[in-house]
Every structure is written in C-alpha cells, then in structure tokens.
Amino acid sequence: MPKVLIPTPLRPYVDNQDEVSIDKEGPISDVLASLISQYPSLQNHLYDGEGSLRGFINVYVNDEDIRYQDGEKTIVNANQDVSIVPSIAGGI
Amino acid sequence: MHSGLTMITISQTLLSELQAHGVREFPHECCGAMLGEQTLNSETGDLTKQIIELIPIDNHWTVSDDDGFDKRRRFAIRPEDYQAVEKAAKAKNLTLLGFYHSHPDHPAIPSATDLKFAWPNFSYIIQSIITKVPAEIHSYVLDLDAGQFKPEGLEIYA
C-alpha cells in the first residue's frame, strides 16, 4: 500500500499520525481522494474551492515533484511514498 | 484545530542565536526552523511549546518567484529543506513547532505575504532587525476561523 507522509501542520487532521497508508494505487488524485475520504477535514487544506490542489502545496511521489511528472495523473504504486510538503515563505 | 491559548518559550541562548542570524543576513531576511516539545494542559486546554533547537535555513527567495521583491523583503524555504527539518525533528523525537524569520528595518508584524503562506498549527516568530540591531520579537499562530494571524505568548527564559 502507498504511504502518504503528512507534514506537521496537517497532522492534527489525521489523528496526529505522521504517515497514513492508503489502500489504493493509481493516479495521485485517487490516492489523495482516498486519504480525504478517511480524513475529510483535510479537504480544505489540500484543495481550493474549485477543486484544484492548493498552490502552496508540493506533492512528491518517491521524492519527485509531481509538477515534473504527470501532475495529478502521476501514478502511485504500492510501496511508493507520497510526500505532502508545504511551501514556507513570507516577508514584509 | 487547537482552541486554547498557546504560548511558546525560548531560552536566552537560543534567542541570541536567532538574533545573530538576523543580524548576519541583514539587510536580507533570515529564516529557520524551530524544533521542540509541546505540552497540552488537559484542564485548561492551553498549549505550551518549548523551543529546544533552531535550524537556520538559507533564504532561497528569488526575485522572479512572485512580485519583484528581493530577499530584503521576502524569504522562501525550499521543499527539500522543509523535508530535511521534518526528518531532523523525527530523528530527534522532537516536533517541528514552526519557523522564524526576520523583518529588516520593519516592525515584527506579520505581512499579507506572511499570511498568504501561513499554515495552521505552526508558530511563526518574527524578529525585527533595525539598522542591524535586534529590536522587537513576536510570535504568531494562524487563526483559521478569522483567516488572520493572532499573537501567541512568547516567554524568554534565562
């Protein structure tokens, strides 16, 4: 089963786990949908109101940014790790 | 997610490290991660976070990133650096409490840019550096319901 690695700020929404195993392989969009079906309060933190992945979230499949693969169609196989990585930035 | 009061504590030694980082990078913004421990008071619901280690991180903001401003007014942490501090926290059995950054020649007040990139459940410490001298310092957390930052207590101990 693929594992989704949860960043610290989102752990309170997944019972404080740092990773969640997903009983689903296939496109990353399906894997994230399965994760959200288990933990619905993640929805608003991962997707905007129009159903697109939020811009300040980076998603990696086995350390490769999905933006440089097939985006949300990037295939996730069993034993692969999916990392959700927040963008951290700011300024004056 | 957490509804009680929050407070973050930092030793004078670590505060000096943080301020020295801000002075070193001046007039650019400095940034770094804060690792530590959290204690929830089950009676009051108040959360206390103790900073145990700071990890300075290179500011990787580039002018083309967004709005024409440079590192004097912006900071950015690379995803690989973010992943490294998560791994460091796990290896040390600590929690990634949040991030600090400096505001060179500007008060320690969160900006619209800070808010745009803010994450829930993190502490954001802002250190003002005025003409290369550390000035006020404050910590903030994102108030999801209000869609803005709220100050949290910052206690400095010897």
Interchain contact, B86 vs A8, CB within 8 Å: yes
Residue B1 placed within a domain: no
- Please name the residue that has the structure tokens 């101990």: B157
Residue B152 placed within a domain: yes
So where are chain A's domains? 3-86
For residue B83, the enclosing domain spans 6-157
Q: What is the pLDDT of residue B66?
A: 61
Region A3-86: CATH code:
3.10.20.30
**Terminal CA-to-CA distance of chain B, rounded, Å?**
31
Q: What is the pLDDT of residue B107?
A: 97
Total of domains in chain B: 1
ipTM of the modeled complex: 0.93
- What's the CA gap between B118 and B103, in Å, rounded? 16
Q: What is the pLDDT of residue B5?
A: 86
Mutate to test the interface with A, among B31, B35, B71, B86 (most CBs of A within 10 A): B86
A67 Cβ neighbours under 8 A, 6+ residues apart: A58
DSSP A21-85: E-S--EEHHHHHHHHHHHSGGGHHHHB-TTSPBPTTEEEEETTEEGGGTTGGG-EE-TT-EEEEE
CATH number at residue B17: 3.40.140.10
> Are the beta carbons of B141 and B152 closer than 8 angstroms?
yes
Among residues A58, A62, A81, the alpha carbon closest in space to that of A71 is found at A58
Other beta carbons less than 10 A from residue B52's beta carbon: 17
Contact list, A18 vs chain B (CB under 8 Å): 90
- A55 and B CB contact within 8 Å: no
The mean pLDDT value for B28-56 works out to 96
Q: What is the pLDDT of residue B1?
A: 56
The mean pLDDT value for B97-115 works out to 96
- What's the CA gap between B114 and B88, in Å, rounded? 24
Among residues A39, A90, A15, A27, the alpha carbon closest in space to that of B75 is found at A90
Residue B26 placed within a domain: yes
Interchain contact, B121 vs A18, CB within 8 Å: no
CA dihedral B83, B85, B90, B91 (to 10 degrees): 110
The whole-angstrom distance between A77's CA and the closest CA on chain B is 21
Identify the closest residue of chain A to B60 by CA–CA distance. A89
- Please name the residue that has the structure tokens 């020295």: B20
Mean pLDDT of chain B: 94
Higher pLDDT, B139 or B66: B139
Q: Which tens digit of pLDDT belongs to each residue from A63-89? A: 899 999 999 999 999 999 999 999 999
pLDDT at B126 exceeding the cut of 70:
yes
Interchain contact, B117 vs A88, CB within 8 Å: yes
CA distances for B48 relative to A14, A16, A47, angstroms? 21, 17, 30
Contact list, A62 vs chain B (CB under 8 Å): none
Q: What is the number of CB-based contacts under 8 A between chain A and chain B?
A: 81
- C-alpha B3: how far from its chain's center? 20
List b or e across B3-34, with b for residues whose CB sees 16 or more CB atoms inside 10 angstroms.
eeebbbbbeeebbebbbebbbebbebbbbbbb
